[in-house]
Amino acid sequence: MFRLIATFLGAALAAGPVVACEGRPDALGTARELAVGPAQFPRVGRIHFDRTLPLAPKEVVLTFDDGPMPPSTLRVLDALRQECVRATFFLIGRNAATHPEIVRRIRAEGHTVAHHSHSHPMLSRLPPDKAEADIDRGIAAVEAALGSKGEPAPFFRFPFFASSPALLERLEKRGYAVFGADLWASDWNLMTPDSQLDMVMRRLRKTEGGIVLMHDTRAQTAAMIPALLRALKREGFRIVHAVPAGRADMARRPHARLTF
């Protein structure tokens, strides 16, 4: 098994970037895509679960929570586009309903659109029917914002990482992969962009990459992203874009309710 994984990763790394910047050989780009589905990866992120995505050393999956929210989300998107980097955005339903044009831009620029509840409650503390309603309302809002512009990925991240065994089980059965993180930017704390950059890079060096959690709603993060992408390039990190695996074996239906 380990030999097969090593062979796969070696071939992927040798294949060249899947997203490169034309005329910008110095740009970071996106090294490869990684298909993620609940059958192989029901729950990922070592801070919260016992496994993570099969990443090689110095591979990074960039993820952003809580958007969309102008102007900071727009600044993040501008920085990612400048470096031809693709990321995953876990959107709050009420924000998606308020700013559908940003949701559509996220998808149009090749990023993965995923889910982060409707109102950002601590779902594990809600009665199951209320948690169910908030999850479904958020999914519906993101789907409505996208309209005909594409389908969101069946990826979910719990607000505050406050999951419960029942919710985890139902999301898996419904065909959703649940994302935790391998490290985070701690950008819920007020700090300067330079201080945040230093902390994120120290953590990345320690973990040798992984799933990184940031918030595109935070001005300090939006200000940090251009320097972060340059630092990743300078230190030899590579970007992996998490994309949904085939849906043929998934039980998910649009707007279907979770059943407890």
The catalytic residue positions are 65, 215
Q: Is 5 exposed, middle or buried (0-12, 13-18, 19+ CB in 10 A)?
A: exposed
Q: Between 128-146 and 165-174, two packed helices, what is the crossing angle to 10 degrees?
A: 40
Q: Between 219-234 and 72-83, two packed helices, what is the crossing angle to 10 degrees?
A: 10
- Compute the distance between CA of residue 185 and CA of residue 190 in angstroms, rounded to an integer: 11
Q: Residue 155 half-sphere exposure, CB side, CA atoms within 13 Å?
A: 29
- Compute the distance between CA of residue 208 and CA of residue 145 in angstroms, rounded to an integer: 36
Closest CA to 31 of 84, 106, 78: 84
Q: Which two tokens stand for residue 52?
A: 């993570």
